Chain A
């Protein structure tokens, strides 16, 4: 590497910096630093003349490193790097010192602010000497997409992407696509016929040249990396040849075995060989192996004899198939809580089996009510039309120790059902027992008003119990508005059970590396700004797999997800930041310690040794200090660079305590910038060093800081960090234990997790920690020498 020739540019920022920081003094001090060839100040570095100055100096003085000391890199890093690039300087050889948001704006003592600015820039002059030119890599991506889940979310996502020109594998574990929406009669609040809006989409999906429906299929393994995934599917046999089946139904007529239909929610029966439902897509029959006489007893096969198209094939076997895709959408939907079970699911205080479900045929779920509407509204017990119907909301929902969340659709469904009931049976008496009526969406409140106007009875009170009483049902509740006990007899009771993530969501999440939230649904990357991203690059989420919602919200999410996928795959290649971890083969002994720490599973053992997948790697650096052989490093935040910056930032004139704060560079650092914008004041003793993640900083860096002159160290991590939950706390606690061996008090180290807007929390920590370190006093010089010796000895 050539001798570093550094150009340092200190911005006045129109007084924002220069009013507090004596920029001339800083310039004089910095000009004397190692490697500094040019040191200038200017009014507005980001202006054209400012940038021109950088370009000119690079060419004239043959500068190979540039530092711009001005505002936060989150403002203008790209601006200045582009300026450097124009002059032929590799962008990764240009860095910035934040002497505005994190200095001039937050310290009003001019002397201290000036001194701190000098220190920060000095630290950078040491760091940049170790920078290397880096190139962003592009890698081609596979432009196919796997959509896991064939409900409305999966169907719409597939259509969006297929219309954009992507090839889509629509993977559905049931014999037909459609999901729960295929079971609905009408949708709220417009009372659109559900099948009328869904089935055209189902047909479109089956006929679209870019979409392949893989039915009877479930993913069992995931390989590869973002942009190049391999999804292994297990495909169960239908025992019917899809291409040959004409859905004539002759087989079902002669099949001797019956079972309760899943599509009809157990209210009607179907044969062992059956069409999932009339509008099924693919429109082919399927045999249920579990009850088929041939598979269980070796007899029958009558269906085969009667099939004119010779479509039945008992020899079909389970298959495995691999699809190669660039991105994955997980939209596996929901299932309903079974309201007959209590103790088995939840140990503890709450029960919800007091509603009589399973004890009387006329206690049904709202999904069963949908089927009854379509079959011609009747009581399951005697087939007669019901007169008085009770709708019981929040069954199993909104419970403290159990299912805490609201199902979001119960209220609207009950209102819809009441209106549909009255339309079908004008003499009927619907009663809705509620705790709150949630009518949040477009047109929902108006729909609710309509129900009130139609003489639907609303009783405010969570139902205590439903007691079968001969042919009828007694519903017991308190009308909390009147404080009166209600005990009414009904012909039918319709329950709104809680919604759960569909069975298998947890396993799928593990397979894909997608986290589950505390409600056991998939967890989005960010609640507000990234609601359909998962933590894993290239894997996206949509629909009820993320949490209960209505169809409209599912559609909106699906559009967002499809758009995200298109952005990711659109260019046909993915540009990767070069700021990634890499293995140093000479030092690596293949112990594989590192593998478990990587949050994106980017490290793997290959035939050629340990390797880090540069696409999966998110550059957090958590693996780096964990390697016992120091065989991993991180580009643009290498050990050499970090150690140098630590050393440079720990040296300062004066006897004030020196505190280094390592801030994770996105959220935590962003919070510190936000503090600056509000002009909140805090101690200048704290100097901030951005790091990809505080996990990247290990014991040796901390000790080096103490040896170099630091008296206290702060770690601040963003709460959306790849560190899981207690990661930073454990990381820091481990280091604290080690510190005592070197004679350093563990109280000289502190950590915090924060969200970006909680800057007051950060500032508060700076202040209280500074007080603590001031009280404890600076580390005596002899002690620093001892630490250095002990550390060297330990090696």
Chain B
């Protein structure tokens, strides 16, 4: 299974470990990710859109045009990129004025986009192309007794009009994946609650309030750790966890893993290969997790 791979800006910087673990795991699942050459920033939801909507859609469309040349579906690890690229597809289809202006813009760089590219999130590929059975077959170290809270976040399940693959209110793909790995998927009400990722640089306190809420409900549901499929969410939950703890004077101590890292652990892969040393909240903060990652 070959896909045109769109990493997105975070993967090369703050979210390196997500891709490291994905690469480690892909070999076993028959997934080949071919990076789109000279891809550009997707536009990051509305970071660019608010300033220049045409530029934002053009940025997304450039990537789609490059992928179209590769004649493959686009796969991305980041939910924000998943949304931003899908939005361009939709908008080009529904808004003739935007389409003609975008066509002109990318034409200036010698590119054309006919509209045929499908955008998939990596989780969708795992759940529907690879299948849970195949994942299960590769499990060497069943994560027995580990209570994992799946945090989907927003843009992997919403908006519902654009290429979504799971229920927007009660998604189950990651829950099933966790169970396939032998762990226990923790049920808590904030699986799809917004962490405030797009607010982190400008409204930090608002973002912390939003992330705090879901960290607490996950913790209160007896989770040992959280998994997430998005670098933006991961940053808020992981890198900012300490700040949240001190700002609100609370104790969270929840390691935050990328879903690929969890899969890698269950596959018995060495932690270094999965980039586990890069996670900011130490995995040792949870005894249950500590036991597993030191076993590997």
Q: In the bound complex, how far is the Cα of B292 from the Cα of A150, in angstroms?
A: 63
Q: Tell me the residues in window 161-175 of chain B with beta carbons closer than 8 Å to chain A beta carbons.
A: 161, 167-170
A467 at interface by CB-CB < 8 Å: yes
Of the listed stretches A347-355, A439-447, A588-596, name the one at the interface; the rest are far from the partner chain: A347-355
Q: With a CB–CB cut-off of 8 A, which chain B residues contact A342? A: 167-169
Number of A-B contacts (CB under 8 A): 25
Chain B, 91-106, CB within 8 A of any chain A CB: none
A353 with B170: CB separation less than 8 A: yes
| Size bin of chain B's contact surface | under 10
Q: A467-B189, A468-B189, A469-B189 are in contact. Are A343 and B160 (CB under 8 A)?
A: yes
Closest-CB distance, A529 to chain B (whole angstroms): 40
A353-B169 in contact given A467-B189, A468-B189, A469-B189 (Cβ < 8 Å)? yes
- Chain B residues near A348: list those with CB within 8 A: 160-161
- Check if B53 is an interface residue, CB within 8 A of chain A: no
Report yes or no: B167 in contact with A343, Cβ–Cβ below 8 A.
Answer: yes
Q: Which residues from 139 to 170 on chain B have a C-beta closer than 8 Å to any C-beta of chain A?
A: 159-161, 167-170
Interface of B: prevailing SS: loop
Is A359 interfacial (CB 8 A cutoff)? Answer: yes
Contact A353 B167 (CB under 8 A): yes
Chain A nearest CB from B127 CB (Å) reads: 15
Residues on A with C-beta less than 8 A from B161 are 348-349
A351: chain B residues within 8 A (beta carbon): 160, 167-169
Q: Is the CB of A359 within 8 A of B170?
A: yes
| A358 to B, closest residue via Cβ | B170
Report the minimum CB–CB distance from B135 to chain A (whole Å). Answer: 23
With CB as the reference atom, state the residue of chain A lying closest to B166. A343
Q: Which residues of B contact A359 (CB under 8 A)?
A: 170
Shortest distance in angstroms between B132's beta carbon and chain A's nearest beta carbon?
Answer: 19
Least CB separation from A466: chain B residue: B189
Q: In whole angstroms, how far apart are the Cα atoms of A353 and B159 in the complex?
A: 15
Please determine whether A354 and B169 come into contact, CB atoms closer than 8 angstroms: yes
| A349-B167 contact in complex given A467-B189, A468-B189, C-beta closer than 8 Å | no
Task: Tell me if B159 and A349 are in contact (CB < 8 A).
Answer: yes
Residue of A nearest to B192 (CB): A354
Given contacts A348-B161, A350-B160, contact A343 B168 (CB under 8 A): yes
Residues of chain A at interface, number, CB under 8 A: 13
> Nearest CB to that of A401 among chain B residues?
B161
> When chains A and B are docked, how far (Å) is the Cα of A343 from the Cα of B169?
10
Q: Mark A328-344, 1 if CB is under 8 A from B, else 0.
A: 00000000000000110
What B residues does A343 contact at CB under 8 A?
A: 160, 167-168
CB neighbours of B168 from chain A (8 A): 342-343, 351
Which residues of chain A are within 8 angstroms of B189 by Cβ–Cβ distance? 467-469
Q: How many Å from the CB of B287 to the closest CB on chain A? A: 25
How near does chain B come to A745, taking the closest CB pair, in angstroms? 31
Query: In the complex, which residue of chain A has the Cβ closest to the Cβ of B159?
Result: A349
State the Cβ distance, A400 to closest chain B Cβ, in Å: 12
What per-residue 1/0 map shows which CB atoms of B189-217 lie under 8 Å from chain A?
10000000000000000000000000000
The residues of B that contact A467 with a CB separation of less than 8 Å are: 189
In the docked arrangement, what's the CA distance between A467 and B189, Å?
Answer: 7
In the complex the two chains form, what is the Cα distance from A348 to B90 in whole Å?
12
Chain A residue numbers with a CB within 8 Å of B160 are 343, 348-351
A467 to B214, CA, bound (A): 13
Alpha-carbon separation in the docked complex, A353 to B169 (Å) = 7
In the assembled complex, the Cα of A469 lies from the Cα of B189 at a distance in Å of 8
Chain B residues in 8 Å Cβ range of A353: 167, 169-170
The digit string for A454-479, where 1 denotes a CB below 8 A from any CB of B, is: 00000000000101110000000000
Question: Which of chain A's residues have a CB closer than 8 A to the CB of B159?
Answer: 349
User: A389–B168 Cα gap in the complex (Å)?
Assistant: 27
* CB-defined contacts of A465 to chain B, threshold 8 Å: 169
CB closest residue in chain A, given B168: A351
Residues of chain B within 8 A (CB-CB) of A350 are 160
Residue of B nearest to A474 (CB): B189
**CA gap between A766 and B140 in the complex, in Å:** 81
Task: Give every chain B residue within 8 A of A469 (Cβ-Cβ).
Answer: 189
Q: How far is the CA of A302 from the CA of B200 in the complex (A)?
A: 69
Distance between A355 CB and nearest chain B CB, rounded to angstroms: 9
Task: Report Cα–Cα, A350/B168, bound state, in Å.
Answer: 10
Encoded as 1 (CB less than 8 Å from any A CB) or 0, chain B from 10 to 51 comes to 000000000000000000000000000000000000000000
The docked-state distance in angstroms from the alpha carbon of A465 to that of B161 is 20
* B161, B167, B169: residue with the most chain A Cβ atoms closer than 10 Å: B169
A684 to B161, CA, bound (A): 54
- Give the CA-CA distance A351 to B158 in the complex, in Å: 11
Give residues 513-560 of A contacting B (CB, 8 Å).
none
Cα-based distance from A257 to B14 in the complex (angstroms): 59
Tell me the minimal C-beta distance from A476 to chain B in angstroms: 10
**B160 nearest in chain A by CB position:** A349
Measured CB to CB, the closest approach of chain B to A244, in angstroms, equals 49
With the chains together, A359 CA to B160 CA distance in Å?
21
A469 and B217 alpha carbons, distance in the complex (Å): 10
Task: Identify the closest chain A residue to B161 (Cβ).
Answer: A349
Cα–Cα, bound, A741→B207 (Å): 71
- Shortest CB-to-CB span from B172 to chain A, Å, is 11
- Whole-angstrom distance between the alpha carbons of A469 and B159 in the complex? 26
Per-position binary interface string of chain A over residues 343-381, scored 1 when its CB falls under 8 Å from any chain B CB and 0 otherwise? 100001111011000010000000000000000000000
Complex-state Cα separation, A248 to B159, whole angstroms:
56
CB of A473, distance to nearest CB on chain B (Å): 11
| Least CB distance, B102 to chain A, in whole angstroms | 23
Interface residues of B in 66-125 (CB under 8 A from A): none
Residues from chain B with Cβ under 8 Å of A354 in the complex: 169
Task: State in angstroms the CA–CA spacing of A351 and B168 once bound together.
Answer: 8
Query: Which residues on A sit within 8 Å (CB–CB) of B167?
Result: 342-343, 351, 353
Closest CB of chain A to B284's CB: distance in Å?
Answer: 31
Beta-carbon nearest neighbor of A465 in chain B: B169
- CA–CA, A771 to B169, complex, Å? 59
Q: Which of A351, A465, A467 has the most CB of B within 10 A?
A: A351
Q: Which residues of A contact B170 (CB under 8 A)?
A: 353, 359
List of 5 A-B pairs having minimum Cβ-Cβ separation, nearest first: A467-B189, A354-B169, A349-B161, A353-B169, A351-B168
> Can you give 15 A-B contacts (C-beta < 8 A)?
A342-B167, A342-B169, A343-B160, A348-B160, A348-B161, A349-B159, A349-B160, A350-B160, A351-B167, A353-B167, A353-B170, A354-B169, A359-B170, A465-B169, A469-B189
Apart from the given pairs A349-B160, A349-B161, A469-B189, 13 other A-B contacts in the complex at a CB distance below 8 Å? A342-B169, A343-B160, A343-B168, A348-B160, A349-B159, A350-B160, A351-B167, A351-B168, A351-B169, A353-B169, A354-B169, A359-B170, A468-B189
